[in-house]
Chain A
Amino acid sequence: MLVQQILNGLTNGSLYALMAVGVTMVYKSLGMLNFAHGDVMMIGTFICLTLINVGGLNVLVAIPLAVVCSAALGFCLERLVLRRVEFSSFVNLLIATVGVSYVLRNGAMVLFGTNPQKFPSIFSTTPLDIFGFKITPQSIGTICVSLALIIALHFFFTKVKIGKCMELASSNPESATMMGINVSLMRFMTFGISAGLACCAGVLIAPYTYARADMSATIGLKAFAAAILGGIGNLWGALLGGLILGVVEALGATYISSAYRDAFSFIVLFIVLFVKPTGLLNRKIENKL
């Protein structure tokens, strides 16, 4: 029972992690939370669904296309909205993302309706019996794909030149500029990648939650919680935070009360922040004068 619940928790957790990574990337690059992240995920999911239902495409073809469209949406967001307010103030930037979030959500209601729509899963949903535990291939697939994406991202940021530049541009924009890095281009790319990841998360979640205009409501919040729990700005922190939240939720729901399912993750977040305000994996490095 315990192991079974942990497995379920890890499935959700890996999705939180995937969302949290996008949140954390944007936070690092702009120093603010992107409140539209969850809604970008939702739009990506609907784009994918439309490609499947209207365009008649196979799921496996539709997903990459939807990811590309979402990335494009991320690019537009950065270029058309955030860049305009960038120089005013942090609060304006934050409010702008809240605004975008509402526009996307309500736009989706108009375009796609308010009814939840069934979303095809990539992997089979018939549970398999592995050492006595029941787990669906969809769950295994979700965990594997999320992990693979996060690991790939890690290599992108540490081994690929453009990834390194993105990392440098977000950690110290002024120095990066002086080293010849095109900081605004890097920021642009950050938004694109973050939005693409959100779309990946969306198509993995949607088979469970259905595609709904408000599907981002809880998962968007959990993504913030996961990112902050692990230490915002930290890729591995986002992964760890996501998995912890997923497991805590699953265990709390089983052993304490399923009615408070969503509350458990935030209780954990409070406790961790109380003990370690930087989040689990972040250290403070003092800049010497």
Chain B
Amino acid sequence: MADTILKVENLVSTYGPITALKGINLEVKEGEIVSLLGSNGAGKSTLMKSILGMVTIGEGSSIQYNHDGQMVELIGKKSHQIIPLGIAIVPEGRGVFINKSVEENLEVGTFFRKRPAARDKELLDTVYQTFPRLKERRKQLAGTLSGGEQQMLALGRAMMADPRLMMLDEPSMGLAPLMVAEVFNVIKNVREMGITVLLVEQNAKQALKIADRGYVLTTGEVTQTGTGKELLADESLVAAYLGAKK
């Protein structure tokens, strides 16, 4: 049995007067792809931001992260303390720095993980191999890239961080179908690189197909969980939350 890399227990998160997460329990094991599904406003992005220490978290919550074999409590830490532990995120809406070149954007990923410079080079090669488009456009400003290319850039930037856990927030949003397929392919590659993946998606079918396990979030609560296959097979679920049909 693989080790647990992330364990969320009884997570309550609030935005001012609004309680966005009402006691979430969730576990991610090393090497897994875990998909987090749910409609708009279900709290998926809030969960990611909670893990990164960017929202207010209620008492009794716990987010444990396995850092070099030791479970570390992330609550109370700030994002700049959490990222160096080996967590990287591909933010919703990609969040690339539009005034910076592709190269500069990728470099940001390397800022807060200590490792030999040779590893940076190695990772850059991997990223350029995965996304030849980025290499062609490495001097271009990120703002001039197409939406799909920006998504690749955000993925590449996260890969540059050499993370142990990569969180992706709706990476297929607003992309053309061909590009969506490519993004999901890359996510599979990422796992093959030995990176654990926590994937937030509205594109439920695709997300469940590549996932080992999934969680369904409804208005701040986990309403269903199971392996990717189980969830895919559950027709009522697919119909109710996941917008069914191909």
Interface residues of A (CB under 8 A from B): 161, 164-165, 168, 171-172, 174-175, 177-182, 185, 285-289
- Give the chain B neighbours of A165 by CB distance below 8 A: 111
CB-nearest residue of chain B to A168: B97
Least distance between B128 CB and chain A CB atoms (Å): 20
Q: How distant is the Cα of A179 from the Cα of B144 in the complex, in angstroms?
A: 21
Q: Which of B82, B91, B141, B147 contacts A175 (CB 8 A)?
A: B91
Interface size on B, residues (CB 8 A): 32
Report chain A residues within 8 Å CB of B246. none
Is B190 an interface residue, CB under 8 A from the partner? no
The answer to whether A288 and B150 have CB atoms under 8 Å apart is yes
Cross-interface CB contact of B108 among A179, A288, A289, cutoff 8 Å: A179
With A165-B111, A180-B111, A181-B80 known as contacts, the answer to whether A285 contacts B144 (CB < 8 A) is yes
Q: Which residues of B contact A180 (CB under 8 A)?
A: 79-80, 82-84, 111-112
B112: nearest residue on chain A (CB-CB)? A180
Set of chain A residues within 8 Å of B146, measured between Cβ atoms? 288
Give the CA-CA distance A179 to B96 in the complex, in Å.
10
Question: A161, A288, A289: which has the most chain B beta carbons within 10 Å?
Answer: A288
Interchain CA distance A179-B82 in the complex, whole Å:
10
10 residue pairs from A and B, CB less than 8 Å apart: A165-B111, A171-B97, A172-B95, A172-B98, A174-B91, A177-B80, A178-B95, A180-B79, A180-B112, A289-B93
Q: Which 4 A-B pairs have the closest CB atoms?
A: A180-B83, A175-B95, A285-B143, A180-B112
* B111 and A181 within 8 A (CB): yes
| Cβ–Cβ contact B111 & A179, under 8 A | yes
Chain B residues closer than 8 Å to A285, beta-carbon distance: 98-99, 141, 143-144
Pair B111/A178 contact, Cβ less than 8 Å: no
Interface string of B140-174 (1 = CB under 8 A from A): 01011111001000000100000000000000001
